Amino acid sequence: MSKSKLPLLALLVSVLSAELPFRFILADTTPTGGSPDISPREHGTVTLTGAHIFGVEVGKAAVDVAFIDNVFTIDGPVVIPVSGGELSVDAFTVTNPFFPGREVTADFEAADIDMTPILAANWGVEMAGALSGGYDSLEIEEGTLSGTGGMIMDIAGGEVAVTNLWGAEVFSSRRRIGMDIAFEDISLEKITEPTDVGRVSGVVSGSLTDLIIAYGEPQRFVFDVRTVEKRGIPRRVSVDFVDNISILGSGTDIFTEALNKGVNRFVGEYRYSEMGVHLELEGAYFTVSGTVVDGGTEYFIKRSGPFGINVVNRNPNNSIRFKDMMSRLKRMQVESKEDIVIEK
């Protein structure tokens, strides 16, 4: 019999009772005739009265299940209360669950699931968000994940949409997971307030496309973000945020000292008219550029009026090693200090 590792879950179940039928034949493959026909009387019931999974509260639910001829099924539809919302499962089947060649099919929909505890537990960010959406055809066959559908999270005054989910060798250590992410009308003030990146106001839209994750790290993506015009919403940026943009682009945070000289030491925030960043990862190298271009000059941040601030990218075609970018994100000094210019 083949060996298989099951994932460890952060799981706390308060009350669980089960009445489950078994006609259990453990074989390396599904019987020749395919998945067995399972009548309603062959389903048992698992009753859950409370659970916490990855910090998310799961409410009371009774699920009709069966495990027969090496096939596990959930007989839908079943509605499970999850974190203030609900998860509706119309169908769920796992064939050969204890073997590397296991196959999965699922049809489910989420509605208004509160993401606040997930963001706090997994990313340490105190931010409200609600998840909705679903997949009417999510399949894993021969280690390949594919699906029709997507998920949308309402967060920071806008929304984030995840589409084009796929995977390869998903049950092995070599697994690759891919997706596209688009975000619209995100409040910079709300998204940065719980973090240490500095104060910034405005609204942005953008995308994270061709994202591929392998061995727990991104292998490829193209990230674009740019401010959008919203009446009544100011555009201001703090010195701390300027430093962080400078670290991202050049690896140095020497600009706090420059901005704190003379009369500038009394100014905690600067006005800007536009802001945009293009960040691309391909293999072991990043490229970083500003998306605001005026008169042949490339800007990360372009000022508004005489008292604003410009953050200029002098090296639009720079290439940065992955390990150096990770260092920059940790606020370490690396390489050139001449690629970014601050203009007041």
CB 105 within 8 A of CB 71: no
> H-type helices in 160-223, by residue range?
188-192
pLDDT of the residue at 18:
67
Residue 240: which pLDDT band, with cuts at 50, 70 and 90?
A: confident
pLDDT of the residue at 212:
95
pLDDT of the residue at 145:
96
Q: Which of 8-22, 58-72, 129-143, 290-304 has the highest mean pLDDT?
A: 129-143
Determine the Cα–Cα distance for residues 34 and 19; give it in Å rounded to an integer. 25
Is the per-residue pLDDT at 194 higher than 80? no
Q: Which of 182-186, 252-256, 274-278 has the highest mean pLDDT?
A: 182-186
CB 273 within 8 A of CB 308: yes
Mean pLDDT of the chain: 79
Name, in order, each residue with C-beta under 8 angstroms of 72's C-beta and a sequence gap of 6 or more: 65, 66, 93, 94, 95, 97
Residue 264: which pLDDT band, with cuts at 50, 70 and 90?
A: very low
Determine the Cα–Cα distance for residues 131 and 306; give it in Å rounded to an integer. 42
pLDDT of the residue at 308:
75
b/e string for 294-332 if b means 16 or more Cβ within 10 A?
Answer: eeebbbbbbbbeeebbbbbbeeeebebeeebbebbeeee
Is the per-residue pLDDT at 298 higher than 60? yes
pLDDT of the residue at 2:
39
Q: Would you say the pTM of this structure is higher than 0.75?
A: yes
State both tokens at 43: 């389903």
Residues 113-130 have a mean pLDDT of: 82
Is the per-residue pLDDT at 40 higher than 70? no
Q: How many CB atoms lie within 10 A of CB 30?
A: 16
Is the per-residue pLDDT at 337 higher than 70? no
Share of the chain above pLDDT 70, in %: 72
Helical axes 322-329 vs 239-250, angle rounded to 10°: 170
* Lowest-pLDDT range of 207-211, 213-217, 246-250: 246-250
Q: How far is CA 330 from the centre of its chain?
A: 20
Q: Which of 62-76, 141-155, 251-265, 277-291 has the highest mean pLDDT?
A: 141-155
Backbone φ, ψ for residue 183 (5° rounding):
-135, 145
Is the per-residue pLDDT at 248 higher than 80? no
Residue 51: which pLDDT band, with cuts at 50, 70 and 90?
A: confident
Residues 115-133 have a mean pLDDT of: 83
